[in-house]
Amino acid sequence: MSTDWRPTASPGMLRQRAALLARLRAFFQQRGVLEVETPLLAHAGVSAPALHNLCAWPQGEVESRQPAFLQTSPEYAMKRLLAAGSGDIFQIARAFRAGEQGGRHNPEFTLLEWYRVGWSYRQLMDEVAELLAEILAIPHAPELLSWGEVFEEYLEVDPFTAEVAALRAVCAREGLTLSAEMKACTDRDTWLDLMLGSLIEPRLPADRLVFVHAWPASQAALARLDTSGARPVAERFEVYYRHVELGNGYQELTDAGELRQRFAADNRRRTQLGLPEVAPDERLLAAMEAGLPACSGVALGVDRLLMLAAGAECIEDVLAFPSTRA
């Protein structure tokens, strides 16, 4: 008899999940941050080449109707709330990303996302550190490293200037196994993402939170650029603990014209990578034109957070029904 009807998380793990969700809500309620809900299905998808939406059509009308997109995060809708005057907000939401399956990935997962109006992304990093130290009982102070520093320290390469051939040579030197598709890749950011995830993350200090900040302008996503230095860098951070990426945050871009240009740049890169173009989210652009306030925001993976808190080895251990049993 088949047993794939059974949950992969134990009853004890389900209780730990419920307790974690309650602690997360209490953290923000104590700070006066408003909990909100936004749609899982929306008319627009995400243009970032590294992310892939799951799409839904009315049954029997696949050819005649435009798809609705299951959201990769609640970011776009939450920014529309911010532009409408919501003030500080948070959400614990289901999110969906096609093609993500593995020990730390499931196509459907839970995100904690929040925005602080008038805060810098440095202030937000402090709050992220407070939350994670509380949940994970981390005794040591966080470590802050710039994106350029981690490449230079762990791989002895300048990621801002190295060409693809040099990046490929570093991967060969480090003994990284490459797929045929990766061997043929000529996109610098794809190589840099691979190196960060495969070669640098496993070498970061494991006993403390590590914030990697000041990302390259080409990987700004929806973060504001800091143009005060020798080269523009994105006011963006990712946070890691025990070699696990937990969250991604920005000093949010508020310029609608700049965002439209970034959507167009995303589509040019998607075309180069053989991916379909994605129409820009006009409602988000309209909200930004109306006035997105200066703010910073971050998204944290709740399932990964629970894995670390519970000492779980695989994401399926903390999900009632992963995609293989949905």
**pLDDT tens for the 326 residues of the chain, in order:** 788 899 999 999 999 999 999 999 999 999 999 999 999 999 999 998 888 888 887 776 655 567 789 999 999 999 999 999 999 999 999 999 988 788 899 999 999 999 999 999 999 999 999 999 999 999 999 999 999 999 999 999 999 999 999 999 999 999 999 899 898 899 899 999 999 999 999 999 999 999 999 999 999 999 999 999 889 999 999 999 999 999 999 999 999 999 999 999 999 989 988 888 999 999 999 999 999 999 999 999 999 999 999 999 999 999 999 999 99
Same domain, 168 and 261: no
Residue 82 lies in a domain: yes
Residue 315 counted as domain residue: yes
DSSP 137-177: T--SPPEEEEHHHHHHHHH---TTT--HHHHHHHHHHTT--
Same domain? 98 vs 176: no
> Is residue 43 assigned to a domain?
yes
State which residues form the domain around 45: 11-142+208-325
Q: Are residues 113 and 79 in the same domain?
A: yes
pLDDT at residue number 61: 61
Here the tokens at position 310 are 């519970």
In this structure, the answer to whether residues 190 and 213 fall within a common structural domain is no
The sign of the torsion formed by the CA atoms of 145, 149, 154, 155 equals positive
Same domain, 261 and 274: yes
Q: Both 102 and 226 in a single domain?
A: yes
Are residues 257 and 283 both part of a single domain? yes
In a domain, 2, yes or no: no
pTM of the model as a whole: 0.94
Predicted pLDDT at 188: 92
Q: Give me the pLDDT at residue 57, please.
A: 76
For residue 272, the model assigns a pLDDT of 87
Residues in Cβ contact with 187 at an 8 Å cutoff, skipping those fewer than 6 apart:
164, 269, 272, 273
The answer to the question of residue 5 being in a domain is no
Report d(CA 110, CA 316) in Å as an integer: 13
Inside any domain, residue 6: no
Q: What is the CATH number of the domain that holds 97?
A: 3.30.930.10
User: Do 92 and 42 fall into the same domain?
Assistant: yes
Question: Same structural domain for residues 37 and 60?
Answer: yes
Produce one character per residue of 173-187: b if its CB has 16 or more CB atoms within 10 Å, e if not. eeeeeeeeeeeebee
Residues 54 and 119 in one domain: yes
**What three-state secondary structure class fits 227?**
coil
Cβ neighbours of 309 (radius 10 Å) = 18
CB 284 within 8 A of CB 79: yes
- 53 found inside a domain: yes
Domain count for the chain = 2
**Residue 36 sits in the same domain as residue 96:** yes
65 assigned to some structural domain = yes
What does the pLDDT read at residue 77? 97
Pick from 160, 183, 205: which residue ends a domain?
A: 205
> Does residue 59 share a domain with residue 41?
yes
